[in-house]
Amino acid sequence: MKNVPVDSELDWVLVLAPFRKDADYAIAFLREQKIEVKAAKADGDLVEHLALSPGIIVITHEALNPQVVDRIATHLSDQPDWSEVPIIILLERTAPIARIRSELLNSWPGSRLLFYTRPIAPLELVNGIQSNLLVRLRQRQVRDSIERERELRLELNHRVKNILASVTSIFQMTRRGATSVEGLAADFAGRLQALSSVHSAVFEAGGGEVSLSAIVDLTVSPYNSNGESRLDVTGPDLVVSRVAGTTIALCLHELITNAIKYGALSHPDGHVELVWSVSKGGSAEFSINWTEVGGPTVQEPTRQGYGTRYVRSALGSLFGSVPEVVFAPEGFRFAVKGPLSRISVRQ
């Protein structure tokens, strides 16, 4: 005898057997096998039970009056495309099976009709019902697979549009700050690489969340060579949202680019300290600090470049607070903080 997994509201049996003891016998057999079963009458009670979406309908020949046939037909017409409801008909030996089958197929085109002749052995009836419960389970699995595929297509379409929008935005802002074609190409390529690295990390993480340490490592590692690190990174590992990871990575890329052009990384002895932390307490707060050391004397620029504007805007929006930007003579500093809940769903 098959073991039937019961994992949804569809896995129950509706019995319509208004005469004799057929309903009582069928219910007793099925309950012995741990199969959920309900009995209905031919009046309004049937409509209420059908509204609960039974997985299988068991009905005796004598219950097949025009009113019952019409009510079941209405129920079947409301079924989704994936659903083929099994209906087991219990017939007398003398019943005209061919005629009954033809009439019911015309009335119930969306059904899966099975006929048994009474008296029927309990084991045969239970096995037939269990087999069809498994059929219903497979139908739902196909439905879920199709729905999941549809959701994945929608998500892919959404992500591609977002990526294209990000690329367009990055290009436009890079173009505004470019002084030559070569500079435009180099800066744009670097920013695209940072974006690509983040999306690779998110993909490998398998969803909409990613390790902050992985994001930082992917962004920073190209600037460490020969086993020598010029960017000292310290902070606890956190799982952050895809949006937060992308934003932080792009901002780090901008800070690194500026440090290479004008700051600590433009000097052989210069280095950067990147530290993030999470405060303890009732409302956890995340903070990230960028400090440049050992570079040339810093002078505050007369106008803000693209990188600084982008970092201020992007991280300010992400954390809901104004970042601190300090052009100290001994080294450029940048800091921002905000509720941990703004970047991570896990706390």
- Each of the 347 residues of the chain gets a pLDDT tens digit; together they read 444 444 444 478 999 887 767 777 778 878 888 888 888 876 668 888 998 888 899 998 888 889 999 999 999 888 888 888 899 998 888 888 889 988 998 999 867 899 988 887 888 888 888 888 888 888 888 888 888 888 878 767 766 775 676 677 668 757 766 788 988 888 788 778 767 776 676 666 666 688 888 888 887 776 665 566 788 999 998 888 888 888 888 888 888 888 888 889 888 888 999 999 998 766 889 999 999 999 999 988 877 776 788 888 889 999 999 999 999 999 999 999 999 988 886 65
Structural domain 12-143, CATH architecture = 3-Layer(aba) Sandwich (3.40)
Angle value at C-alpha 239, between 235 and 244, nearest 5 degrees: 90
Q: CATH 3.30.565.10 in the chain: give the residue spans.
A: 186-342
Rg (CA), the chain: 34
Residue 271 has a CB neighbour count (10 Å cut-off) of 19
CB 226 within 8 A of CB 184: no
Domain with CATH 3.40.50.2300 in the chain: 12-143
Token pair of 174, please? 């890079």
3-class secondary structure, 307: helix
Instruction: Count CA atoms within 13 Å of residue 196 on its CB side.
Output: 6
Q: What local confidence, expressed as pLDDT, does residue 2 receive? A: 43
Between helices 122-177 and 22-32, what is the axis angle to 10°?
A: 60
Q: pLDDT at position 4, please?
A: 42
**Burial class of residue 63 in the structure, from the number of CB atoms within 10 Å of its CB (0-12 exposed, 13-18 middle, 19+ buried):** buried
Nearest Cα to Cα of residue 25 among 89, 121, 101, 95: 121
Cβ neighbours for 193, distance < 8 A, ≥ 6 positions apart: 222
CATH class held by domain 186-342: alpha beta
Question: How far, in Å, CA of 106 to CA of 329, rounded?
Answer: 88
Instruction: Give the pLDDT of residue 3.
Output: 45
